[in-house]
Amino acid sequence: MRRSLRALMLSTAILAGGLCGLNASRAAVAPADGKTAVPVTAVVLFSSGVGYFQHAGSVDGDAVTTLQFSAKQINDVLKSLVLQDMGGSVSAVTYASQDPLGKTLKSFQVDVTSNPSLDQLLNQLRGARVSLSLPSEQISGTILGVEKRTKPAGSNKTYDVPVLNIVTDAGIRSLELPDVRDVRLDDPVLQAELSKALAALAASRDQDKKPVTIHFSGKGQRQVLIGYVVETPVWKTSYRLVLGDKDAKLQGWAIVENQTDNDWNDVQLGLVSGRPISFIEDLYQPLYVTRPTVQPELYSGLLPPKYPAGMAGEGRREALSQMQSDRTATGAAAPAMPMTLNPTESVAAAASAAQIGELFQYTVGNVSLPRQSSAMIPIVTDSIQAQRLSIYNPSVLPRNPLNGARLKNTTGKHLLGGPLTVFDAGSYAGDAQIDNLPPEQSRLISYGIDLQMLVDTTSAGRTDETLTAKIVNGVLQVSHQYIATTVYDSQNKSDHDKTLIIEHAFQPDWKLLDTPEPVEKTDSLYRFQESVAAGKSAKLTVKEQRVQDEGFAILGGDVDAIVAFTRNGAIPQAVKDALQKAADMKRSLADAQRSLQANKDKQQAIVDDQKRINETLRTIGQNTALYSRLMEKLNAQETDLEKLRGESDDLTRKANEQQKQLEDYLANLNIG
């Protein structure tokens, strides 16, 4: 058992960064009579809001130590607690159970779960012997039950009175409960159950103090270790950056909080920059599974069956290959302070730094911090590479860039994200924020408005032109080129040269055209860099291109639209010739279809006129001149219809042939 505990302790120690204890666990050593105090010796805080807390001490013989936790920490403790007795063994870990209060109360013979009134409580105790005190007598007996009786209250009103029916030696008596001054349970078992139920209610009010008792077994003096992971306040960082003429100094502070119930005295404090996965599982609350109630069934005797045998089953590049510190200052000159600030001169980093797997840890020895207190601990006092910049983004400020810098982490330490106060020329220059910055990586920061640099942004709009075209299976595919142009005019009004970063929005499906290569690219923008001499102006033109293909079905297309494509100079001649031939074939087909339609219109006109003549013939006599004339006209119309129908058949065959010729021509037409 000792070996397994030692291995478990070692693995947890490695995860926690070398058995450094964690902060902000509200665990407190609670020594009592006969118990041994095992103090906190190491704390490791993670930036993910959890921490590893380690106790170490000496015990003699069989020993007991108790740690106090808040109720919300018990689940973390039960999940992560590791113990080691060097020379003995851990015999048991005990803690107060947390059954749901309702279930606990229902386990007593006297149920006070629903805050019962006196009549409800006495009704529960039917069959129990009680002694009652009345104004004029004492009565003992067995509770028969409690009922409600209605009594008049005057003016036709009534009210209910609870009445206790009790069996005495003299018979059954009914007593109005308001007249009963005192009730005593004669059964000591019931009285004890009632006291226990009330004690459980009282104990449930103090949910924040949960003792965990650890029993060590062994002989003689020896060392013991206790470790666990609990929720803690996130440790934070803040930085000070001092820009000099040739270099920059960075001072970093860790802000830690001891939100425990015990003081930290000379503990080893670890600050880990990383986010290990952590979760809470309810291990403290007893869990009960709802089970169905099954009624027993009666069967006649069964012959056991015989069972047969069965078969066993590009990456993105850095912003600059080399950074140089500018001696030029950005922004208006600030009044000099009495002396130049050097944060690395009198403040030394109290932490050593090291890479722990995928995590980075600062370790501070001999930290003393009273409970419920916070402290700032210096963890970085190093030179850092910084390049002064003016950073322009039209969505931030339309006319002015921001004073900024590109920082390259040359400290060799992982810098956790946090606020950064910038000092320049011995004076406060502004505030910035920095994201997590691993060693040798670079980040931009900005901390003020550059009033000595103006930038004017002009958008030339978008142009559309045809690049080329081809025909694929009778479909004309035209490639369009859209060009968007943005011009950035910058003017440096200061007396020294400046390096300007221009952030230009990145658009998906667009690519740069005839534009200088950006020094950086993010998911949402390009960063272009240019130098602007003192008192001079500079211009950056960003041209973007988007090529889009558009399909045009020739068979169903309009002839005029097809002919319009033949006049486009960007379309190859072979494609134009094919389009012209298709247009001519469509015109011939259209002429045939128009002739056919005209023929059908004539036929329909004759049919309509014949209907009119037939209606007239029904109203006149056959021996009249009009009748004869109309009959002659009908005869002539029949002759014309026969002729038109013959022509219609010819026109239909011609149109169908031309339609087929056009479809056959376009079906396999591939040019370009």
Please write the tens of the pLDDT for every residue from 471-480: 998 899 999 8
Domain contains 28: no
Same domain, residue pair 239 and 377: yes
* Residue finishing a domain among 521, 553, 585: 553
Most confident range, picked from 174-178, 281-285, 526-530:
526-530
Res. 1: pLDDT tops 50: no
pLDDT in tens, 435-464: 888 889 889 999 999 999 999 999 887 888
* Residue finishing a domain among 492, 525, 553: 553
What average pLDDT is seen over the chain? 79
Same domain, residue pair 331 and 442: yes
Same domain, residue pair 444 and 523: no
* Rounded CA Rg of the chain: 48
Contact partners, residue 122, CB within 8 Å, separation at least 6? 130, 143, 146, 164, 177, 183
Domain contains 304: no
Looking from the CA of 253 toward its CB, the CA atoms found within 13 Å total: 15
Same domain, residue pair 493 and 539: yes
Same domain, residue pair 508 and 566: no
Same domain, residue pair 253 and 390: yes
Domain contains 13: no
Check residue 300 and give its pLDDT. Answer: 44
Domain contains 220: no
Nearest to 361 by CA among 136, 45, 37: 45
Domain contains 89: no
3-state secondary structure of 27: coil
pLDDT in tens, 45-76: 887 788 888 999 999 999 999 888 877 888 88
Where do runs of H (alpha helix) occur along 291-387? 343-346
Q: Decide: residue 329, CB within 10 A, 0-12 exposed, 13-18 middle, 19+ buried.
A: buried
Same domain, residue pair 432 and 570: no
Residue 562 structure tokens: 């097809």
Where do runs of H (alpha helix) occur along 394-521? none
Mean pLDDT in residue range 474-496: 92
Same domain, residue pair 340 and 430: yes
Same domain, residue pair 377 and 464: no
* Number of structural domains found in the chain: 4
Same domain, residue pair 331 and 443: yes
Domain contains 8: no
More confident residue, 10 or 205: 205
Q: Residue 355: count other Cβ atoms within 10 Å of its Cβ.
A: 13
Q: Residue 364: count other Cβ atoms within 10 Å of its Cβ.
A: 22
Domain contains 175: yes
Same domain, residue pair 585 and 661: yes
Check residue 151 and give its pLDDT. Answer: 82
Nearest to 40 by CA among 52, 22, 55, 57: 55
Same domain, residue pair 386 and 531: no
Amino acid at site 379: I
Domain contains 54: no
* Residue finishing a domain among 553, 580, 610: 553
Phi, psi of 330 (to 5 degrees): -110, 145
Q: How confident is the model at residue 22 (pLDDT cuts 50, 70, 90)?
A: very low
Range of the domain at 606: 559-667
